[in-house]
Amino acid sequence: MGVFDDLVGQEQAALTLRRAAAAGAEILAGGRGAGMTHAWLFTGPPGSGREEAARAFAAALFCPDQGCGHCDLCHQVAIGSHPDLEIVRPQGLSYGIKDTRQLILRAAGAPTLGRWRVVLFEDADRATEGASNALLKAIEEPPPRTVWLLCAPAPDDMMITIRSRCRQVTLVTPPTAAVAHVLATRENVPPAMAEFAARAAQGHIDRARRLALDEEARKRRDAVLSIPRSLTGVAECVTAAERLVKTAEEEAAAVTAVLNESEVTELRKIYGEGSSGKGLNKGLIRGGAGALKDLEDRQKSRATRTKRDVIDTALLDLVAFYRDVLAVQFGARVELANEDRGNEIEGLARSSTPEDTLRRIDAIMRCRERLAANVNPQMAVEAMTLSLRRPG
């Protein structure tokens, strides 16, 4: 099975990338290679597989068979160990100019294995304005064998000057049936659970996998979807907001704790903790104090980002719930993401108007915008729950 076969529901994008990989091989052989370019922008909704598509393309560029999926080079790309592939994952709220300049210097080097040097930049939309300007210069005048693969939710999330210099690959939300098939065949998930998870995740493959395999993830979703019926008064709205934010904090702490500890341990080793020799340990640790402080700052930023990502996932679940309510109100024959809560959806659809539902969806989207603008999460979520409140 080739690397592009893993792209669920992305047949058109896979075709484009296959042709580009073949053109890349033609360039390496001394030909013109029409269809291959040095900068690509992968866009699509959450869960569509932007990073997976970019990684598959990188493997196809390195592989002599354009992405066979089973050779050593394809395997190295899959596990992230290929010497000519650099994967950039912004851990904090943004990606600054200092990191970008260092990245550009590394990207300018010649390929170790003689084919391409590929930089896969996940969440490239997190680059600051200064970082984006630096990145633009690198894309405008790239080394002949360097390929940039940028990933972002939408083209408008990138500077127009950057996206105008990239070839765009637009991914779509995978169909529920395709996601369910992947869960059933690759993860051995029972068909009923696979269908439930795929539908509830609305095509988000990673989230569908978590819902199918992790009971705690299903419990968190149930807790979020229980919020609408609990909002009967102001006190209940405040309590629901506190609970949602606290749950996000706890989940973010659990996600980052192990990683934080391993990073600190590794840094202390680098600066000599545990080394023998009179005065060596103390001197090296003192010299690494600045590096340790920088690491702690990055970890705090990552924890904040993780917390906001957790809250955002909950908000998207709420949007899906009210979208289902709106679909019932209009009698639309569409698949409901929350079929398992059909009675609640029907009840709310009868007791409210489509205008009420649209107002609630707008309130959730405003909350997302406020969180993206660094508004205090507790305040933003409280304002949202008050807007969602059902008449007493």
**Are 162 and 136 a contacting pair, CB within 8 Å?**
yes
Sole residue written with tokens 């990989």: 21
The SS3 assignment for 86 reads strand
For residues 346 and 222, what is the distance between their CA atoms, to the nearest angstrom? Answer: 17
Q: For 121-159, give the DSSP string.
A: ETTGGGB-HHHHHHHHHHHHS--TTEEEEEEESSGGGS-
Q: What angle (nearest 5°) sits at the alpha carbon of residue 49, between those of residues 48 and 52?
A: 175
Residue 180: pLDDT over 50 = yes
Q: Which of 4-13, 162-171, 206-215, 287-296 has the lowest mean pLDDT?
A: 287-296
In this model, does residue 390 exceed pLDDT 80?
no
Distance, CA of 337 to CA of 324 (rounded, Å): 7
Q: Where are the domains of the chain?
A: 10-170, 176-213, 234-275+287-388
Q: What is the pLDDT of residue 91?
A: 75
Q: Which stretch of 142-151, 246-255, 373-382 has the lowest confidence by average pLDDT?
A: 246-255
Q: What is the pLDDT of residue 271?
A: 67
pLDDT by residue (tens digit) across 59-112? 999 999 999 999 999 999 998 899 999 999 887 778 899 999 999 999 999 999
Read off the pLDDT band of 302 (50, 70, 90): confident
**Per-residue pLDDT for 371 more than 50?**
yes
Q: Which of 174, 163, 142 is nearest to 45 (CA)?
A: 174
How does 300-309 read in b/e, with b if 16+ C-beta sit within 10 Å? eebbbbbbbb
What is the dotted CATH code of the domain comprising 10-170?
3.40.50.300
- Measured CA to CA in angstroms, residue 92 lies from 104, 124, 198, 254, 335 at distances of 19, 12, 29, 16, 36
What integer pLDDT is reported at residue 280 of this predicted model? 44
Q: What's the start-to-end Cα distance of the chain, in Å?
A: 57
pLDDT for 287: 54
Strand segments, DSSP code E, in the chain are 39-43, 85-88, 117-121, 146-152, 167-170
Per DSSP, helices labelled H in 271-353 are: 280-287, 289-330, 342-351
Taking a C-beta distance cutoff of 8 angstroms, is the pair 201, 213 a contact? Answer: no
Instruction: Note the pLDDT of residue 248.
Output: 85
Digit-coded pLDDT (tens) for 4-53: 988 888 999 999 999 999 999 999 988 888 889 999 999 998 888 899 99
Question: How does DSSP classify residue 66?
Answer: S
Q: Give the separation between CA 134 and CA 128, rounded to whole angstroms.
A: 10
**CA torsion through residues 381, 383, 384, 388, sign:** positive
Q: Give residue-wise pLDDT tens across range 259-295.
A: 777 777 776 776 665 555 554 455 445 556 677 777 7
Q: What is the pLDDT of residue 283?
A: 46
Interhelix angle 191-200/205-213, nearest 10 degrees: 130
In DSSP terms, 43 is beta-bridged to 152, 170
Tell whether the model's pLDDT for residue 225 goes beyond 80. Answer: yes
State whether residue 118 is helix, strand or coil: strand
Could you tell me which residue, 28 or 301, shows the higher pLDDT?
28
Tens digits of residue pLDDT in 307-365: 888 899 899 999 999 999 999 999 998 889 999 999 999 999 999 999 999 999 999 99
Contact 132, 162 (CB under 8 A): yes
Closest CA to 138 of 88, 73, 204: 88
